[in-house]
Amino acid sequence: MKEVRIGLLGAGVVGTSLLQLLDKNREKIQRQYGINLQLTAIATRSPGKLQGKTNVPVSDDVLSVTKRSDIDMIVELMGGTDTAYTAVRSALEHGKTVITANKALLSEKGRELYAIAETSGVEIGYEAAVAGSIPIIRTLRDGLASCEFEVICGILNGTTNFILTKMEQESWDYATALKKAQELGFAEADPTFDVEGIDAGHKISLLASLAFRESVSFQTVSVKGISELQSMDIQAALSLGYRIKLLGISKRSSAGILTKVHPTLVPLDHPLANVMNESNAVFYKTKEADSGMITGKGAGGLPTASAVLSDIIYYASRLGSQNIAKENNLFPEGKRFPEPENLVRYYLRFSTVDKPGVLAEISQVLGRHNISIASVQQKESTSEPVSVIVVTHAATEGEFQKSLMEIDTMTNIIKQKTVAIRLLENL
């Protein structure tokens, strides 16, 4: 029986869920894999919260755990990038394999940490860092290793997907849906990382690096969140045959690997459109295997902890192996590529005064920038501003940006910044 001694850093929602799974599955893991997982020490900011819940020694000294000679593996579930970086670096330098769910840490510091891991002859597992319970990391690294990717994209943040679902199904406004997500533990007290697309940006940069076998650093990702969306956008999209999703999208182009996060109108017959609530999904297209999609729970303690435990089992079985994963080449310093002038389509919501000729003025500006209108919606209103919704035909991104800058300066008719949402490109 192979014994693997574990140090756990962080005992929040995911950490305490992992404690439950370790207790529940310890004997099964011993029978099926011949591995005896022994939780040896825990470090957490609030040791008192675990009083009476575990027999394992608990402290608030993270580095005392990473430096212990009687620990083989460190599981980092603290989050953040400062203390977590110091802890993970210490663990790697002391020859310990690290399992982490910290997508921000790897997206920003992955190159350095993987270099240390390689020097120390240990590994880093991060299956839980992207898309919760979906086994996407090893799927990309191993299951689809022979494929040349054309695009990888997905719903990568359970909080925003939950909010968008409730705004549609319950007719809630954004603030109400966000509050409910916070009550259920899907969103933090400060939800900025989730709702502004930063979390999804970290995740798509990791997926893109694996899929394309090239560096895609977070600093190169164009990010836009969902905080500007209103219920009328959700309902208008449905009436047009679309559902709004926050997507992370990465694809190869003549300029390089282009990676972005933004709200997207997804056709209702596309599989991504039907991924609801806190679920996540990863859609990919390769030259050899064509397209596919994997979906599963993307938020919550137990789903994420299940991915952490999967990594613990996998890398525990590899402890002592000479064939370590050399992935630091996936995390060099990235650079931002200029987006080529591909043709795109947009949903545009203008907030205007209620008087004749407004649509004509807007149309003139769009026309000067070679943007033609496919459809227009305007509901009757007894107050201003009035919402005018336009779906365009395809034009270049540059022309769209120029036209919107011009329209938003027309304060005689435009009362709020225009809401612009891309339609899903042909994937």
Q: Reduce the secondary structure of the chain to three states and give it as a string.
A: CEEEEEEEECCCHHHHHHHHHHHHHHHHHHHHHCEEEEEEEEECCCHHHHCCCCCCCEECCHHHHHCCCCCCEEEECCCCCCHHHHHHHHHHHCCCEEEECCHHHHHHHHHHHHHHHHHHCCCEECHHHCCCCCCHHHHHHHHCCCCCEEEEEEECCHHHHHHHHHHHHCCCCHHHHHHHHHHCCCCCCCCHHHHCCHHHHHHHHHHHHHHHCCCCCHHHCEECCCCCCCHHHHHHHHHCCEEEEEEEEEEEECCEEEEEEEEEEEECCCHHHHCCCCEEEEEEEECCCEEEEEEEECCCHHHHHHHHHHHHHHHHHHCCCCCCCCCHHHCCCCCCCCCCCCEECEEEEEEECCCCCHHHHHHHHHHHCCCCEEEEEECCCCCCCEEEEEEECCEEHHHHHHHHHHHHCCCCCEEEEEEEEEECCCC
At 315, the amino acid letter reads Y
For 295-305, the pLDDT digits (tens) are: 998 777 888 89
Q: Would you call the peptide bond into 263 cis, given omega within 30 degrees of 0 as the criterion?
A: no
Q: Is 251 a catalytic residue?
A: no
pLDDT at residue number 325: 60
DSSP bridge partners of 387: 351
Packed helices 103-120 and 83-93: angle between N→C axes, nearest 10 degrees: 20
Res. 254 pLDDT band, cuts 50 70 90:
confident
Question: Mean pLDDT over residues 203-217, rounded?
Answer: 88
Note the pLDDT of residue 332: 46
Question: Which residue do the tokens 């939950």 mark?
Answer: 162
Average pLDDT over every residue of 272-278 = 94
Q: 121-176 pLDDT, tens per residue? A: 899 999 999 988 889 998 998 888 889 999 999 999 999 999 999 999 999 999 99
Region(s) of the chain under CATH 3.30.360.10: 136-297
Q: Which of 26-40, 51-65, 149-163, 399-413 has the lowest mean pLDDT?
A: 51-65
pLDDT of 327: 55
Residue range 362-386: average pLDDT?
A: 89
The CA distance from 355 to 165, in Å, is: 34
Residue 323: the pLDDT is: 67
pLDDT of residue 227: 93
The CATH H-level superfamily of 2-132+302-330 is: NAD(P)-binding Rossmann-like Domain (3.40.50.720)
Q: How many other C-beta atoms can be found within 10 angstroms of the C-beta atom of residue 12?
A: 16
Question: Using CA atoms, how far apart are residues 383 and 381, in angstroms rounded to an integer?
Answer: 6
For 343-356, what is the mean pLDDT?
A: 92
Residues carrying CATH 3.40.50.720, the chain? 2-132+302-330
- Provide CB contacts within 8 A for 259, sequence distance 6+: 204, 205, 208, 216, 220, 221, 222, 248, 249, 250
Closest CA to 390 of 356, 424, 352: 352
Mean pLDDT score across all residues of the chain? 89
Given a contact cutoff of 8 angstroms between Cβ atoms, the answer to whether 28 and 45 are in contact is: no
Q: How far apart are CA 179 and CA 177, in angstroms?
A: 5
Question: Which residues, at least 6 apart from 96, have a Cβ–Cβ distance to it below 8 Å?
Answer: 7, 66, 71, 72, 73, 74, 122
Burial of 411 (0-12, 13-18, 19+ CB in 10 A): exposed
Superfamily of segment(s) 343-423: ACT domain (3.30.70.260)
Q: What is the reported pLDDT for 172? A: 94
d(C-alpha 218, C-alpha 206), whole Å: 8
Confidence of residue 341 (pLDDT cuts 50, 70, 90): low
Ranges 75-84, 158-167, 275-284, 362-371: which has the least confidence: 75-84
pLDDT on residue 330: 53
For residue 381, give both structure tokens.
Answer: 């209103």
Is the pLDDT at 328 greater than 50, yes or no?
A: no
| pLDDT value at 340 more than 60 | no
Alpha-carbon dihedral 267, 268, 270, 275, rounded to 10 degrees: 120
Among 1.10.1200.10, 3.40.50.300, 3.30.70.3280, 3.30.360.10, name the CATH number for the domain at 136-297. 3.30.360.10
The torsion angles phi and psi of 374, rounded to 5 degrees, stand at: -90, -40
CA of residue 84 relative to chain centroid, distance: 19
State the helix-helix crossing angle for 231-239 and 158-169, rounded to 10 degrees.
Answer: 70
Catalytic residue among 96, 203, 251, 297: 203
Instruction: Determine how many CB atoms are found less than 10 A away from the CB of residue 191.
Output: 20
334 pLDDT higher than 80? no
| Residue set of the binding site | 9-16, 103, 188
Report pLDDT for 220: 85
| pLDDT of res. 259 | 92
* Mean pLDDT of the region 275-290: 93
pLDDT for residue 73: 97
